[in-house]
Amino acid sequence: MGEDAALEVAVRLKALADPVRLRLLSLLLASEEVCTCDLAPAVDLTEATVSHHLGQLKKAGFISGERRGMNVYYRAHRDALGAMAQVIDPACC
Amino acid sequence: MGEDAALEVAVRLKALADPVRLRLLSLLLASEEVCTCDLAPAVDLTEATVSHHLGQLKKAGFISGERRGMNVYYRAHRDALGAMAQVIDPACC
DNA sequence: CCACCTACTTGACGAATGTCGAAAGGGTTG
DNA sequence: CAACCCTTTCGACATTCGTCAAGTAGGTGG
């Protein structure tokens, strides 16, 4: 793996390498669409903290959020996760 | 994903989420067996720094090292990487 | 046996980065 | 406007990265 490629992959892996973000992602994968106000109590953290984590996942391209009315609904990008899995083990898929 | 499971996965992902460790792993996957003295110049860091990184990869179960004479030879555990890929995307494999 | 060298690991340190929540701000609805 | 949802800024605290210095392990020559 090249130096630049390693840096890009590491940045995206860092976004996944946190217990809170893994649980948020798991909740999003299970429920299709969830808003911050529902996620915060599920992981027992403040909405501000959850917003931080969602921002990191969004920046890494694993989720996206859409505002509808008062709430912001987040959904997971399953293809981005699949691509990440393939980088870790190309022989896997 | 449960709280404890998320923590365990996060710890192992953190071991992967670093550009230096990704490059070290890539070198090990390419060459079957490499010693610290060959890895250090390949990533342009001191042997001490490389040893720290190899220790983290070893602790996470992605590599193992064996001393033969003066050198310590490391090799990657491909199955551990496959298992990690499957955690990220269960539908992948 | 001893000194000496190479290969590698470990511990301690400063610099950089990440985590979390309180407070403040922007949008949206009633 | 008041209430609600969400994000952003700021500050405290913890974790991580790379290096030096010291220590261990194995090999070599006097």
Backbone torsion region of residue B23, taken as left when φ is above 0, otherwise alpha when ψ lies between -120 and 50, otherwise beta:
alpha
Residue A35 CA distance to nucleotide D11 C1' (Å): 28
How far the first Cα of chain A sits from its last, in Å, is 19
Burial class (CB in 10 A: 0-12, 13-18, 19+), B40: middle
**Half-sphere exposure at residue B84, Cβ-oriented, CA atoms within 13 angstroms:** 27
Predicted confidence (pLDDT) at residue B60 exceeds the cutoff of 80: yes
At A92 the pLDDT is: 81
Nearest to B88 among A14, A19, A84 (CB): A84
Predicted confidence (pLDDT) at residue B38 exceeds the cutoff of 80: yes
From CA B72, how far away is CA A75, in angstroms rounded?
46
Q: How confident is the model at residue B93 (pLDDT cuts 50, 70, 90)?
A: confident
DSSP codes of every residue in B38-63: HHHHHHTS-HHHHHHHHHHHHHTTSE
| Sequence spans of domains, chain A | 3-92
Q: How confident is the model at residue B92 (pLDDT cuts 50, 70, 90)?
A: confident
Q: Report chain B's mean pLDDT, rounded to a whole number.
A: 97
pLDDT in tens, chain A (93 residues): 999 999 999 999 999 999 999 999 999 999 999 999 999 999 999 999 999 999 999 999 999 999 999 999 999 999 999 999 999 999 887
Average pLDDT rounded to a whole number, residues B70-74: 97
Nearest-CA distance A7 → chain B (Å): 5
How far the first Cα of chain B sits from its last, in Å, is 19
Domain B3-92 is of which CATH architecture? Orthogonal Bundle (1.10)
At B35 the pLDDT is: 98
Asked if B79 has any chain A CB less than 8 Å from its own CB, the reply is no
A57 and B58 Cβ atoms separated by less than 8 Å: no
With a CB-CB cutoff of 8 Å, which residues 15-34 of chain B face chain A? 16-20, 22-23, 26
Residue A51 CA distance to nucleotide D7 C1' (Å): 7
At A93 the pLDDT is: 72
Q: Is the CB of B90 under 7 A from strand D?
A: no
With a CB-CB cutoff of 8 Å, which residues 38-77 of chain B face chain A? none
Residue B70 CA distance to nucleotide D30 C1' (Å): 21
